[in-house]
Structure formats: structure tokens, C-alpha cells
């Protein structure tokens, strides 16, 4: 996105990148890895970079987006989620916490048991996308 200046990539990453990186940075699940472990450092660098690059492109870019962009991103995130769920089942993994909640405390703890926390998280995701859209519209006026 920073190199290609792709509008489609920006729109997707604006919603999905900022929303997910804020959640990851606010409630990291690093298990036994604490500072100064390299996994700890890389976690914050990678998620922070996603957040900052999206923010930078939102500030300096001349991109335009409407509510349709928001709903296309919701659709793409859900398609991605279904693919990840299938991979999780196949590998016995838990990417995106679709098969179980993380070991530590997180926002998912207050959203109900599996699979209902996924539905609650979906509602929060859509609400956060609308908040990001609203902030973008205000800032870009």
C-alpha cells in the first residue's frame, strides 16, 4: 500500500488493518514471551507498523471511500475468516481465535462462549468499521 498507493488495498487495510491492529495492541496474547524477547518486540513492531502505515496513508493520501467500501471490507474479512477457520480445523490451529478464545484475558471473554463470541465480535467489528468511516469522513472534509 505504501509503495503501490493502491486505493483498493488502502480501503481494505484502513478498516481491517486499523481495527485489528488496535485490538491486537490493546490485548496482546504473547503467552510466555515478554520484553525483551524477540517475539514480543516483533509483535509490537508488526502490529504498530500496520496501524501507523494505515494512519499515514489516511492523512497524506487523497483516497475517497463510501459506505460501500466498508461493506466490501466486511465481506472480505468474513470470507477470509471462513478460510482461516477451515485452515484452523485442518491444522489444529487457532488463528483469529475462531476455534477457541485466547489463553489470556481479552475482549472475547465478555462476548460469550464459543461460537457466540464470534457473532458478538462480528457486531463489534462492523461498529468499529463505522466509527473509522465516520472519523475518516470528518477528517477528510
Q: What is the mean pLDDT of each run of 10 residues along the chain (141 residues)?
A: 84 93 80 82 93 92 90 97 97 93 80 92 94 92 75
Task: Say what the pTM is.
Answer: 0.85
- Asked if 26 and 35 count as a contact pair (C-beta separation under 8 A), the reply is no
For residue 53, give the C-alpha cell: 502505515
d(CA 40, CA 23): 16
- Asked if 27 and 107 count as a contact pair (C-beta separation under 8 A), the reply is yes
- Give the residue ranges of DSSP H helices in the chain: 7-12, 18-26, 38-60, 67-91, 116-140
d(CA 115, CA 118): 6
Amino acid at each position: 500500500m505504501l509503495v503501490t498507493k493502491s486505493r483498493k488495498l488502502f480501503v481494505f487495510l484502513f478498516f481491517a488493518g486499523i481495527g485489528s491492529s488496535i485490538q491486537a495492541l490493546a490485548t496482546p496474547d504473547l503467552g510466555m514471551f515478554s520484553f525483551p524477547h524477540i517475539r514480543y518486540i516483533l509483535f509490537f513492531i508488526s502490529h504498530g507498523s500496520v496501524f501507523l502505515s494505515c494512519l499515514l496513508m489516511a492523512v497524506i493520501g487523497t483516497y475517497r471511500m463510501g459506505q460501500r467500501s466498508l461493506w466490501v471490507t466486511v465481506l472480505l474479512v468474513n470470507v477470509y475468516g471462513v478460510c482461516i477457520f477451515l485452515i484452523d480445523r485442518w491444522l489444529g490451529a487457532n488463528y483469529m481465535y475462531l476455534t477457541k478464545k485466547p489463553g489470556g484475558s481479552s475482549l472475547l471473554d465478555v462476548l460469550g462462549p464459543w461460537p457466540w463470541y464470534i457473532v458478538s465480535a462480528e457486531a463489534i467489528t462492523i461498529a468499529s468499521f463505522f466509527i473509522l468511516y465516520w472519523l475518516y469522513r470528518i477528517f477528510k472534509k
